[in-house]
Structure 1
Amino acid sequence: MTSLITPVQPASTGHPAYSQTFPCDPSTAETGRRLVRDALGVWHLDDLADVAALIMSELVANAVRHTSCRSIRLVVGRPSAPRIRVGVVDRAPSRLPVLRPAGEDEESGRGLLLIDGLADRWGYDLHGPPRRPWGKAVWAELSVRGDQ
């Protein structure tokens, strides 16, 4: 049984997706992990839940740390049958993610390195008009294996 607040709905591609807006707050990471686990459970993809939940936590942490947004939208979807995508949408299009090595003495700054190591691919999409985007989505994808 799922505990999603809103049921999973098919996206325009015919594949299911789920998204909801939450406060841009560190506590949203826990909600994001739950959302990922619930959605993947509905899709019988529990074997990907730990990795996808960790990625979602890092995406939320980055949005909280690097933007001044009041809210963020968490997204879990299947852009195609063999892929799942987790992402965070914020209203800070000028704060783009940059993969960079963290110094040995730094206590943070390894989130994108972790995502890069775990995900099959990751990136960002700007939202809105090309010359004046209103926000961005930072996302990561994992491959669905086998007969799921």
Structure 2
Amino acid sequence: MTVTVESRPTGHPGYSQTLPREPESAAIARKLVRTALAAWYLEDLVEDAETVITELVSNAVDHARLESIRVVVTRPTEKLVRFGVVDRSRNVPYMRTDSNGDNTRGRGLLLVDALTDRWGTDRYRWGKQVWGEMKCD
């Protein structure tokens, strides 16, 4: 008996979209994530990935400088998916560990940290990309 295994595309071009720097862009970013994961047969990651991209977009909306952001979804390797948001601010985000009283804002990177295998910031001369990676075994 012959078994055919369908390959899962990796690498470029990936998926990306430039969006307005506004809270409503999180919904468009979630759709982009769902589209990419469906194309790669990774639907089991959708729920956590949507939360990650929502938090990354929210941070960019709050802290970026210009009127647009860029959402990027790639597969750097067969075993990893990367979700990123690019903006023109060079300020590096940090993960809050204080309770900050009753304030429910400012804890997005705690969620990103909990839901991804690793996350970080790539700094560029003109801005940065904040990203999170999830394993897709």
Question: 2: CA distance between counterparts of 1:10 and 1:51?
Answer: 21
Question: 2:95: which partner in 1?
Answer: 99
Corresponding residue of 2:71: 74
Please name the residue that 1:3 is paired with. none
Identity of aligned residues (%): 48
Contact 2:10 2:76 in 1 (8 A): no
CA RMSD of aligned residues (A): 1.5
Give yes or no for the alignment of 1:142 onto 2:134. yes
Q: Alignment length, in residue pairs? A: 128
**When the two structures are superposed, what TM-score results if normalisation uses the length of structure 1?**
0.82
- Runs of at least 5 residues in structure 2 that lack an aligned partner in the other structure: 1-8
Superposition misfits of 4+ residues, deviation over 4 angstroms = none
Q: CA deviation at 1:107?
A: 2.3
Task: Output the CA distance in 2 between the equivalents of 1:9 and 1:91.
Answer: 27
Q: Distance in 2 between matches of 1:52 and 1:60?
A: 12
**1:68 Cα offset (Å):** 2.6
Please say if residues 119 and 131 of structure 2, whose CA atoms lie closer than 8 Å, have aligned partners that are also in contact: yes
User: Structure 1 unaligned runs (5+)?
Assistant: 1-7, 128-132
2:120 is aligned, of 120, 123, 139, to: 123
Alpha-carbon contact 2:29-2:54 (below 8 Å) kept: yes
For the 8 Å contact 2:11–2:74, the answer to whether it is kept is no
Any conservation in 2 of the 1:9–1:18 contact (CA below 8 Å)? no
2:14 aligns to what SS in structure 1? Answer: strand
Once the two structures are superposed, what CA deviation does each residue of 1:66-85 show, in whole Å capped at 9, x if it has no partner? 12321000000100000000
